[in-house]
Amino acid sequence: MTTPHPVPPHQVVALDLRGRTALVTGAGSGIGRSVAGRLAAAGARVVAVDRDAEPLESLADDTGAVPVVADLSDLDRAEEALEGHWDVDVLVNNAGIQHVAPLDEFPAERFAYIQTVMVEAPFRLVRRVLPHMYSAGWGRIVNISSVHGLRASPFKAAYVTAKHALEGLSKTVALEGAPHGVTANCVNPAYVRTPLVEGQIRAQAATHGIPESEVVEKIMLTSAAIKRLIEPEEVAELVAYLCTDAAGFITGTSVAIDGGWTAH
Ligand code: NAP
């Protein structure tokens, strides 16, 4: 039985980012798009990174975000594309992809690609934005991890590995950043209603040999106590809270927004 969807509360966090710059990866779609919009609504100048120009243009039209087209799997070129944009006060490492396959069939190059986009790219960006944050004495790094940064699921070896690695990076940044007023945290959602999940529904149906209609209820919602998908705006609101001064003591941790999944 799924839980009925309430209208998610929008923008309840009092966040003032006027005068600050926020860089959001994967900002063209899903969670990243909501986060970019939320931080722009808080007054931030948003640098929106994605690999396709078109979704960034519509985001720029909607929010005033500065679009930067960069493929984060090409680490050096992505850094080049971001040259001139490193004076960042809030970094949201969000871009991510999924590949669903049993381990003994998992393509090795796909495994490596996922580590590049979801672990190495966040490391590269953190490394480049910390000097500005350190000199400002303030910074917020929010890593969009997953419930799969805390728990494993079958057939998602690359994704689970990458998200667990991101958790380690995030904790290390928290320790090094603390004396400089920089916090680093992970946000850990269960299934959010985004294009990435819509793709997974198709892939899981094929892998498990069941109709797509059964994937959400019988696979995606089995572990969560609250039986509904999360809306991207709910994740964006949690990110907004972590960017407040009120959240300045929250660092090096992982904040689950998972409907009780990790209570098991
Ligand atoms: P999404 O709708 O697919 O959005 C991700 C965005 O990142 C897309 O615009 C994607 O571009 C972009 N991207 C992917 N690879 C990139 C690359 N190499 N360089 C630059 N941009 C790239 O996904 P989402 O569901 O919002 O997921 C966002 C983050 O939340 C991911 O890290 C994901 O692991 C995490 N998360 C999602 C869920 C969920 O249920 N949706 C749950 C837990 C955690 P393309 O469209 O071209 O691929």
1 by DSSP, 3-state: which? coil
Contact (CB, 8 A) for 253 and 259? no
Q: Ligand 1 in contact with 51 (CB < 6 A)?
A: yes
Evaluate whether the domain defined by 21-189+231-252 bears CATH number 3.40.50.720.
Answer: yes
Q: Where are the domains of the chain?
A: 21-189+231-252, 191-229
Element (H, E) at 60: helix 53-63
Contact (CB, 8 A) for 173 and 142? no
Whole-number Å distance between alpha carbons of 165 and 162: 5
Q: How far is the CA of 32 from the centre of ligand 1 (A)?
A: 7
Contact (CB, 8 A) for 128 and 76? no
Q: Ligand 1 in contact with 42 (CB < 6 A)?
A: no
Q: Which of 73, 92, 97 to mutate to test the pocket of ligand 1 (most atoms within 8 A of CB)?
A: 97
Q: Ligand 1 in contact with 29 (CB < 6 A)?
A: yes
pLDDT in tens, the chain (264 residues): 677 766 666 789 999 999 999 999 999 999 999 999 999 999 999 999 999 999 999 999 999 999 999 999 999 999 999 999 999 999 999 999 999 999 999 999 999 999 999 999 999 999 999 999 999 999 999 999 999 999 999 999 999 999 999 999 999 999 999 999 999 999 999 999 999 898 888 888 998 899 988 898 888 899 999 999 999 999 999 999 999 999 999 999 999 999 999 999
Q: How far is the CA of 232 from the centre of ligand 1 (A)?
A: 12
Q: Which of 51, 92, 196 to mutate to test the pocket of ligand 1 (most atoms within 8 A of CB)?
A: 196
